[in-house]
Amino acid sequence: MRYSLIALALGFAACTSAPAFDPATPPLVLTGEITRADNQTYREISFTPPPGTGRISIDFAYTGKDQKTVIDIGLRDPEGQRGWSGGNKSHIEISEFEATPSYRPGRIQPGEWKLVLGIPNIRDGVTASYRATVMFSDVDDPAAQAQSAAAVVLSTQPRWRRGDFHNHTAHSDGSCDADSARGPCPVFNTADAARDGGLDFVAITDHNTITQLADIRRLQASHPKTLLIPGTEVTTFFGHANVIGNSDFVDFQLGSPRLPTLSKLFDEAAAQGAIVSVNHPSLPSGEVCMGCGWTAKDTDWSRVTAIEVINGATLRTSGAEAPLSGIAFWEKLLNQGFHITAIGGSDNHDATDRTGAKQSPVGKPATVVYAEALSTRGIVAGVKSGRVFVDAAGLPGAVLEMQARAGTQSAWMGGAIQLAGDETAGITVTTANVSPETRLEIVADGLDTESGPMSLGQAPSFRVKLASGATRGWVRVNIRAVDGKLLLLGNPIYFARATSP
Ligand SMILES: [Zn+2]
Ligand SMILES: [Zn+2]
């Protein structure tokens, strides 16, 4: 007991001694002139990051390019060369877990740094002026966030985006065959598999780390149509949860002073603009699968954005609706009044297994999100909105949409409608690229539904009203194959009884 008290005291001491970054720190502007006397020489310009700096961003510009002046740039940190981008980049970012290619990610050490200029060419009689704007920030600073790998925007076109929220690589336990031996599986395999599978996005969610950020930043440039979303599978003794869209490490040691309760995890994720999805909640826990099922006590479900209702491993071995799937777990929470978005994740650990010989391939199941932009923030916002469906069957281009209308109110999946008394809402289901042979299933709680025969050929519609005595309810739809197999799982529209004025 005494030992743990001492450890706690030390922990607090370490916390308070860490220097805090002052967000009011102005940029440092380094300017100077280069003449022929500098031709084919190097110039090193010193600067010192202020205490607590977590990220350095540099914009570099110079005059005289029209006269063939060339100024290369690089950086030295207090311990040595940090990177060299020559003449190929005018903007540089460096932080603990990610950096512009040509530069090493890593801690921003206190002490003297040097901006290194190399001058391969400047003509006689020419004077060039340069300007380096060096910006310092904390990694959690909104301006720094805007520069992180999580801030990449591939498209601003609003539309359905298909992707996979759960993948492992060499940054945790992803492994694949390399030269007939098993080795850690590089991130590019996952990015390539997502691209070749026609996915718009893929989340790289390694266990308890975010070191994959450097790879994501590097690979995104060569995957211009496939958004690589950073994430972390926070893997605790009491359950696994994906943080999706984080740009920094998040604590995972649930039950220890680092993460006494889940509320700190929710806070950390929110501070980074990320969301929390509870993974494979119905898997067993214990020696058969350490911490796999969700047993965390006192989970505040109002702070959980999503639940992984279909996990690739159970989908492959026992189907989308096996007892180990998360669907029943999720619906129980919907019945309690929580608004939580159902998503899926392949949980792939070997992206070279394209046929699913040993595990569910990248993109199976897929989650299809209506997003305002193809960006991490856009996909995260789409999941929050709930306008999302899960494709358990791998139907490229499939769309499942549901809209409710009551009077002047209308809502898409994930939205909410207020109903007075016996007021009814009309629900319309729209599909695309789904065989008309399939059938529609309505799943609801707290509602009376009235429907005729449902044929996908003719935009099926039905009406709902709150059941007598119910103050809230939800309705969602599934698309099933003729043999009953679940193909597409839709998210709910929520209803609440309007309070009389
Ligand atoms: Zn897991
Ligand atoms: Zn996993």
CATH number, domain containing residue 92: 2.60.120.380
**Ligand 2 centroid to residue 106 C-alpha, Å:** 26
Q: Return the ligand number nearest the Cα of 279.
A: 1
**Ligand 2 centroid to residue 287 C-alpha, Å:** 17
**CA angle (253, 259, 261) in 5-degree steps:** 120
* Residue whose C-alpha is closest to residue 401's, from 384, 381, 415: 415
The β-bridge partners of 239 are 236
pLDDT at 501: 59
Residue 224: cis peptide before it, omega within 30 degrees of 0: no
Q: Are residues 194 and 259 in the same domain?
A: yes
**Ligand 2 centroid to residue 363 C-alpha, Å:** 14
Q: Are residues 411 and 454 in the same domain?
A: yes
Residue 321 lies in a domain: yes
Q: Which domain holds residue 113?
A: 28-145
Q: Return the ligand number nearest the Cα of 168.
A: 2
Q: Are residues 192 and 167 in the same domain?
A: yes
Q: Return the ligand number nearest the Cα of 347.
A: 2
Phi, psi of 205 (to 5 degrees): -120, 65
**Ligand 1 centroid to residue 416 C-alpha, Å:** 31
Q: Are 245 and 231 contacting, i.e. CB atoms less than 8 angstroms apart?
A: yes
Q: Are 32 and 45 contacting, i.e. CB atoms less than 8 angstroms apart?
A: yes
Count other Cβ atoms within 10 Å, centred on residue 338: 17
Q: Are residues 230 and 372 in the same domain?
A: yes
pLDDT at 139: 74
- Non-local CB neighbours of 459 within 8 Å, separated by 6+ positions: 428, 429, 430
pLDDT at 144: 72
* Residue whose C-alpha is closest to residue 274's, from 305, 246, 236: 246
Q: Return the ligand number nearest the Cα of 239.
A: 1
**Ligand 1 centroid to residue 415 C-alpha, Å:** 29
**Ligand 1 centroid to residue 235 C-alpha, Å:** 7
Q: Are 349 and 314 contacting, i.e. CB atoms less than 8 angstroms apart?
A: no
**Ligand 1 centroid to residue 347 C-alpha, Å:** 7
* Residue whose C-alpha is closest to residue 451's, from 440, 462, 465: 462
Spell out which residues have Cβ within 5 A of ligand 2, the ion. Answer: 233, 347
Last residue of a domain, one of 145, 168, 192: 145
- Non-local CB neighbours of 110 within 8 Å, separated by 6+ positions: 48, 49, 51, 78
Mean pLDDT for all residues in the chain? 92
**Ligand 1 centroid to residue 292 C-alpha, Å:** 6
**Ligand 2 centroid to residue 190 C-alpha, Å:** 14
Last residue of a domain, one of 125, 145, 165: 145
CA–CA dist 315, 321 (Å, integer): 8
Token pair in block for residue 263: 């509320």
**Ligand 2 centroid to residue 64 C-alpha, Å:** 52
Residue 23 lies in a domain: no
Token pair in block for residue 128: 């060039």
Token pair in block for residue 168: 């492992």
Residue 5 lies in a domain: no
**Ligand 1 centroid to residue 278 C-alpha, Å:** 9
Q: State the SS3 of 285-303.
A: CECCECCCCCCCCCCCHHH
Residue 9 lies in a domain: no
Q: Are residues 360 and 448 in the same domain?
A: no
Q: Return the ligand number nearest the Cα of 359.
A: 2
Dihedral sign of CA atoms 268, 274, 275, 280 in order? negative
Residue 8 lies in a domain: no
The β-bridge partners of 136 are 56
**Residue 318 belongs to what H/E stretch?**
helix 312-318
CA–CA dist 258, 249 (Å, integer): 13
Q: Are residues 173 and 234 in the same domain?
A: yes
Q: Are residues 406 and 496 in the same domain?
A: yes
Residues of the chain with pLDDT under 50: 1-16
**Ligand 2 centroid to residue 370 C-alpha, Å:** 24
Count other Cβ atoms within 10 Å, centred on residue 31: 11
CA–CA dist 311, 314 (Å, integer): 6
CA–CA dist 49, 56 (Å, integer): 8
* Residue whose C-alpha is closest to residue 488's, from 252, 336, 321: 321
**Ligand 2 centroid to residue 179 C-alpha, Å:** 25
pLDDT digits (tens, 9 = 90+) for 304-316: 999 999 999 999 9
Tell me the residue length of the chain. Answer: 501
**Ligand 1 centroid to residue 317 C-alpha, Å:** 16
Number of domains in the chain: 3
Residue 169 lies in a domain: yes
**Ligand 2 centroid to residue 307 C-alpha, Å:** 13
Q: Return the ligand number nearest the Cα of 173.
A: 2
Q: Return the ligand number nearest the Cα of 289.
A: 1
Strand, helix or coil for residue 117: strand
Residue 3 lies in a domain: no
CA–CA dist 280, 311 (Å, integer): 6
Q: Are 238 and 254 contacting, i.e. CB atoms less than 8 angstroms apart?
A: yes
Count other Cβ atoms within 10 Å, centred on residue 104: 13
Q: Are residues 266 and 347 in the same domain?
A: yes
**Ligand 1 centroid to residue 34 C-alpha, Å:** 56
Residue 388 lies in a domain: yes
**Ligand 2 centroid to residue 379 C-alpha, Å:** 19
**Ligand 1 centroid to residue 300 C-alpha, Å:** 20
**Ligand 2 centroid to residue 253 C-alpha, Å:** 17
Q: Are 329 and 282 contacting, i.e. CB atoms less than 8 angstroms apart?
A: yes
Q: Are residues 436 and 483 in the same domain?
A: yes
Q: Return the ligand number nearest the Cα of 280.
A: 1
CA–CA dist 351, 178 (Å, integer): 12
pLDDT at 15: 42
pLDDT at 23: 85
User: Which segments of 238-311 are extended strands (E)?
Assistant: 239-244, 275-278, 306-311
pLDDT digits (tens, 9 = 90+) for 416-471: 999 998 999 999 999 999 988 888 999 999 999 986 556 566 668 899 999 999 99
Q: Return the ligand number nearest the Cα of 164.
A: 2
Q: Return the ligand number nearest the Cα of 348.
A: 2
Q: Are 2 and 10 contacting, i.e. CB atoms less than 8 angstroms apart?
A: no
**Ligand 1 centroid to residue 291 C-alpha, Å:** 8
Place of tokens 């006397």: 37
Count other Cβ atoms within 10 Å, centred on residue 279: 25
Kindly report the CATH number assigned to the domain that includes residue 454: 2.60.40.10
Could you give the residue ranges of the DSSP H alpha helices within 134-256? 142-145, 187-196, 213-220
Q: Are residues 117 and 213 in the same domain?
A: no
**Ligand 1 centroid to residue 136 C-alpha, Å:** 36
**Ligand 1 centroid to residue 73 C-alpha, Å:** 43
Q: Are residues 382 and 257 in the same domain?
A: yes
Q: Are residues 105 and 227 in the same domain?
A: no
Q: Return the ligand number nearest the Cα of 312.
A: 2
Bin 336: left if φ > 0, else alpha if -120 < ψ < 50, else beta.
alpha
**Ligand 2 centroid to residue 17 C-alpha, Å:** 35
Last residue of a domain, one of 119, 145, 171: 145
pLDDT at 495: 98
pLDDT at 1: 33
Q: Return the ligand number nearest the Cα of 283.
A: 1
